[in-house]
Amino acid sequence: MRDQAEIREQYEFLTEELESQEMRHEGVRKLFSHYRHALGWVLEEEEHL
């Protein structure tokens, strides 16, 4: 399982990528949005443990 620092790093990377002008294809944006949401959920769950 990934440690929290690695997950947070990936979450921040995805957030920056989604805000980038290069991320115009809607399907890619949707996929990254779902992945970012999942990572955020994992981070929240780990904070509560």
pLDDT tens per residue across span 9-42: 888 888 887 777 766 677 777 887 888 888 888 8
Domain of residue 40: give its range: 4-48
> Which residue, 13, 16, 7, is CA-closest to 39?
7
What pLDDT does residue 5 have? 85
Q: How many domains does the chain have?
A: 1
pLDDT at 1 > cutoff 60: no
What pLDDT does residue 2 have? 63
pTM (2 d.p.)? 0.49
The residue length of the chain stands at 49
Query: Which residues, 6 or more positions from 42, have their beta carbon under 8 angstroms from its beta carbon?
Result: 7
Confidence of residue 43 (pLDDT cuts 50, 70, 90): confident
Angstrom CA distances, 24 to 16, 18, 32, 44, stand at 13, 9, 12, 28
What pLDDT does residue 49 have? 60
